[in-house]
Structure 1
Amino acid sequence: MAEHLTTLDAGFLQIEDADHHVSLAIGGVAVLAGPTPEFDEVLETIGARCLSNPRSTQVLRTHPLDLTAPEWVDDPDFDLARHVRRAALPAPGDDVALFAEIATIMERRLDRERPLWECWVIEGLAQNRWALLVKVHHALADGIAASNLLTGLCDDTGVTTFASSIGAARHPARRPSLPVPSLNPVDWINESVRWTRSVGKVALRAAGGAAGITVSLLRPAARSSFTGPIGDLRRYSSAAVSLHDVEEIAHTFGVTINDVALAAVADSYRTALLRRGQQPRADSLRTLVPVSVRAADAGDTSDNRVSLMLSLLPVDLADPLARLRTVHTRMGVAKSSGQRQAGSLLVWATSLLPFPVTAWTVRLLSRLPQRSVVTVVTNVPGPRTQLTVMGRTVVRLLPVPPIAAGFRTGIAILSYADEFTLGLLGDFDAAPDIDELAAGIQRGIDRLARLAKSSGRARRNGSPVLSSNG
């Protein structure tokens, strides 16, 4: 029996249809040590691992006028050689060449007449290395699902990720047993009242979150070169920092790892705005932050299970600690306001409506100019330990986000072993300084790490802790 796309999954197809310059594919790149294996060997080994996912041999079947949701059906003409492909970097095969190749591969749309994925073997990297790039359409997978697809190509089975450990804590394997129903009608009434109050509180919280999201979307961001139309060419860059440093910052200042990342993003974009001759304002960087609602036991399911939050990153603040604390406060407000619940409730509610209504609405909204949200920052917990592919060590994992809907830059963050890696994709014309943007986020985290270390020394010495204007 064919499986229909959810409203959220199909929405990514409709957003892509709204702009012929946009490719809504997401990617992950594994950089491997050692010589590149023979391509026939890669095709046999990697191909077999790709085929373990049912979606790898399925194609989308759409219906006229969107009267019914698209559905996954088996591709009778499936050819693995169309999906596992190869590319070679020009000498010297450095990061500049690798990043340019990643941008070129990601800017091309996936062919909807075929299964919506590709796996690229990239040869010719410096230091006797090669790379695997996995590219999947966002309609098929969100960030965590795409990360799991990439780790599924590895030799290791049952890979433990930061997401699985977090998910296990949030979603216990054993659910608490339900209470034995009472035979007393008075108890029935009391239970009904308690249940109604509980549902009412959730509904009110979600309504408040929905109102906050709506107000944010109706307020245009300050004009800057980071918003506007998107062309058909891309630039990509990446940077990495120590995960231990990020954890130490979070522990020292009582914030989350995501807060640290967002504060560093604000640091880099503030510097970029000044570099471009634009004054950073309080409303210059409204940011979409996807939030996973994927249960621990759904890690291998290829679909989208995300909600969202919106937050203004404080690019107007010069002090790095003030930025970090402001990010922490604003994200706390976004969480407590019910934005995540509102997003989840909206996705659930739209699934109850006739598909043509939601499809036509998304298509209409996608064609309207979007001026309120400037960028997207997604944080994907990756593998906790170092991996191997075909006996070769994976020395780096690079995430690749999409851009669309007026976001001219997108940022994906992936934790892998002891590294915290940033991947930035930008419109070619809008982000000529994308390497500086990536390096700026790295510098922002390094600056906070130095402050965390000095704060720790000050506490040990009994001295007062001072902020810095960075």
Structure 2
Amino acid sequence: MVGERLGGLDTAFLQIENENAHMHIGVVLTFAGEAPRYDDLIEVFERRLHLVPRYRQRLLAPPLPLDRPRWVDDPHFNLRFHVRHTGLPAPGSEEQLKELAARILGQRLDRERPLWEFWLVEGLEGNRFAVIAKTHHAVVDGVSGVDVVTLLLDATPEPSPTPPPPPWLPRPLPSRAELLVESLAGPLRTPLELAKVAQRSLAHPEEVVSDLRRGIGGALEFARAAFLRGGPRTPYNGKIGPHRRFDWVRFSLADLRAIKARLGGTVNDVVLACVAGALHHHLLVRGERVEGVELKTLVPVSVRADVERGALGNRVSLMIATLPVWCADPATRFAIVRDQMAALKESGQAVGAKVLTELGDFAPPTILAQASRLFATQRVFNLVVTNVPGPQFPLYMLGRRLIDPFPVVPLAPDQTLGVALMSYDGRINFGLIGDYDRMWDLRTLARCVRRSMAELAEAAGIELEEPSPYPRPEWLAEGGEGAEAKTGSEGRGAARGTSDGIG
């Protein structure tokens, strides 16, 4: 057994990565109560890690550039290397947590080990602690990542009983001779796979013709959107360094649903219109022009079937939307975004992008590497905005209630800003990641996001209510002794934004 071969899209994420562009996704989680003991957390991992075997596997590169890397068991796997423990200095503010998360997210994962880290962070003010998790995009996509995280969490305050895990012994690494044979067989594998696809197609020729017509049409639409006209030069594009800034904004999911109900559209339309407005205000604060500015935005779309949820690997397609950053009126901005997204869905662009990414499974590794780097560096898009649906019920880790998840999207080469969203238990949170030097005012952008959402709410006749970052007293009692803590003024009241002329 020489290990599982990476798919085309998973390999592309490896090819895009360099010393400054780190292709890991991540999440910062805040919990109610005192942090669990590190050894107790290790025990949870030991009991459940067998449910995601990939987390004990590392990459093994082929000896010849004719094949893709493979997943193999790590013979030196050490759980305590991946699950780490740290604390915030007093006072343990959210700003300090953001700085710590940015430093951790700015560190590239070691390819000689399994590609993930999980940090337990004590000392967050307001009777809270945090977790910072990151996993390479070659391992999971955003939707799969949510499922993997929930494997470590429970739906009730009382942890569900877990039977002792089966004993684990790493499978021997393949020999160089075995890898060489597999590499030489790689070019022969593609015609055989194509022949199997053709054989299956003969059974239902009418469906094949219909799917082929739709796939080719969608692929042309995606290629036209991606390559016919490059994204404009903006502060959100340019050479990046390895270091990051991270910020977040909380909203009520009910508020966004109320806005989309009043204005007509979807929650995703509200999100994209909000981002367009935030960039409008941010560019003005920087003294940049906004007249005629339309930013090309890569919007990942999950094509993971329900039966595939929790499976590892990437099942993602893409759409390229154009954000009307020039538009100052929030209602007009929303209408433009809504109509455009409806047209994109009708165009089959996501289907076409899926066809193009699946072609990567048949492409020679050298061609795939060049195509991946070209797509990431030619300003095909200005930024990524991704919206990951999370569970709409409370989750717990060792009896402590999860309050907020803040997602992280990687920065590709030439991308200085990324926007990720995750909904959970009635909230929807923005996670903003930026290059440390070029997005020096990321905190200002976060305030612009609040202002833009407030404008949309006003246009819809809705009054926004920002969720509190602090646990309610009943949440602290849910988990028993481990979650109980002091109740003080820092644990009560709603979060309030800071006024600096932006909001």
- Give 1:47 deviation, angstroms: 4.2
Say whether residues 1:142 and 2:141 are aligned partners: yes
Matches within 5 A, 1:196-211: 198-211=210-223
- Provide Cα deviations, 1:434-453, integer angstroms capped at 9, x if missing partner: 12212222332232223223
- Give 1:194 deviation, angstroms: 4.7
AA aligned opposite 1:439: R
Unaligned runs of 5+ in 2: 157-202, 464-502
8 Å CA contact 2:295, 2:322 repeated in 1: yes
The 1:454–1:70 alpha-carbon spacing in structure 2 relative to 1, beyond 3 Å, is closer
8 Å CA contact 1:208, 1:337 repeated in 2: no
- Give 1:390 deviation, angstroms: 0.2
AA aligned opposite 2:447: A
- Give 1:281 deviation, angstroms: 3.8
* Aligned equivalent of 1:375: 383
The 1:194–1:361 alpha-carbon spacing in structure 2 relative to 1, beyond 3 Å, is closer
AA aligned opposite 1:406: D
* Aligned equivalent of 1:357: 367
- Provide Cα deviations, 1:390-420, integer angstroms capped at 9, x if missing partner: 0011111111111112110001000001101
- Give 1:192 deviation, angstroms: 7.4
Say whether residues 1:69 and 2:68 are aligned partners: yes
- Provide Cα deviations, 1:51-76, integer angstroms capped at 9, x if missing partner: 42111111111113432111111111
SS in 1 for 2:245: strand
- Give 1:204 deviation, angstroms: 4.5
1:299 aligned residue (309, 312, 322): 309
Say whether residues 1:8 and 2:9 are aligned partners: yes
Q: Give the Cα separation in 2 of the matches to 1:295 and 1:255.
A: 24
Q: Give the Cα separation in 2 of the matches to 1:339 and 1:444.
A: 28
8 Å CA contact 2:9, 2:314 repeated in 1: yes
1:212 aligned residue (219, 224, 227): 224
SS in 2 for 1:199: helix
8 Å CA contact 1:156, 1:387 repeated in 2: yes
The 1:38–1:203 alpha-carbon spacing in structure 2 relative to 1, beyond 3 Å, is closer
* Aligned equivalent of 1:231: 241
Q: Give the Cα separation in 1 of the matches to 2:214 and 2:230.
A: 29
* Aligned equivalent of 1:432: 440
8 Å CA contact 1:60, 1:73 repeated in 2: yes
Query: Percent identity over the alignment?
Result: 40
The 1:356–1:149 alpha-carbon spacing in structure 2 relative to 1, beyond 3 Å, is same
2:268 aligned residue (258, 280, 305): 258
8 Å CA contact 2:221, 2:349 repeated in 1: yes
2:299 aligned residue (289, 299, 310): 289
8 Å CA contact 1:221, 1:283 repeated in 2: no
Say whether residues 1:327 and 2:337 are aligned partners: yes
Q: Give the Cα separation in 2 of the matches to 1:230 and 1:37.
A: 37
TM-score by length of 1: 0.84
8 Å CA contact 1:423, 1:438 repeated in 2: no
AA aligned opposite 1:255: G
AA aligned opposite 2:74: D
- Give 1:145 deviation, angstroms: 1.1
Q: Give the Cα separation in 2 of the matches to 1:211 and 1:133.
A: 36
- Provide Cα deviations, 1:182-234, integer angstroms capped at 9, x if missing partner: xxxxxxxxx97854652353144224323423xx4342333221110011110
2:413 aligned residue (405, 423, 429): 405
The 1:140–1:196 alpha-carbon spacing in structure 2 relative to 1, beyond 3 Å, is closer
8 Å CA contact 2:297, 2:381 repeated in 1: yes
8 Å CA contact 1:282, 1:312 repeated in 2: no
SS in 2 for 1:307: strand
SS in 2 for 1:64: coil
- Give 1:154 deviation, angstroms: 0.5
Which range moved further: 107-116 or 445-454?
Answer: 445-454
* Aligned equivalent of 2:475: none
Q: Give the Cα separation in 2 of the matches to 1:334 and 1:282.
A: 21
Q: Give the Cα separation in 1 of the matches to 2:395 and 2:211.
A: 44
Give the aligned length: 417
Q: Give the Cα separation in 1 of the matches to 2:223 and 2:71.
A: 35
Q: Give the Cα separation in 1 of the matches to 2:85 and 2:378.
A: 37
* Aligned equivalent of 1:113: 112
2:285 aligned residue (275, 287, 302): 275
- Provide Cα deviations, 1:339-364, integer angstroms capped at 9, x if missing partner: 1011111122221233343234434x
SS in 1 for 2:351: helix
8 Å CA contact 2:216, 2:352 repeated in 1: no
8 Å CA contact 1:47, 1:84 repeated in 2: no
8 Å CA contact 2:20, 2:413 repeated in 1: no
Q: Give the Cα separation in 2 of the matches to 1:339 and 1:203.
A: 9
TM-score by length of 2: 0.79
* Aligned equivalent of 1:421: 429
The 1:360–1:221 alpha-carbon spacing in structure 2 relative to 1, beyond 3 Å, is closer
- Give 1:132 deviation, angstroms: 1.4
The 1:221–1:38 alpha-carbon spacing in structure 2 relative to 1, beyond 3 Å, is same
8 Å CA contact 2:145, 2:310 repeated in 1: no
8 Å CA contact 1:289, 1:309 repeated in 2: yes
8 Å CA contact 2:317, 2:354 repeated in 1: yes
Say whether residues 1:453 and 2:461 are aligned partners: yes
SS in 1 for 2:31: strand
SS in 2 for 1:351: coil
Q: Give the Cα separation in 2 of the matches to 1:404 and 1:210.
A: 19
- Give 1:3 deviation, angstroms: 0.9
Q: Give the Cα separation in 1 of the matches to 2:74 and 2:6.
A: 16
- Give 1:369 deviation, angstroms: 4.1
AA aligned opposite 2:273: A
8 Å CA contact 2:25, 2:135 repeated in 1: yes
The 1:394–1:316 alpha-carbon spacing in structure 2 relative to 1, beyond 3 Å, is same
* Aligned equivalent of 1:388: 396
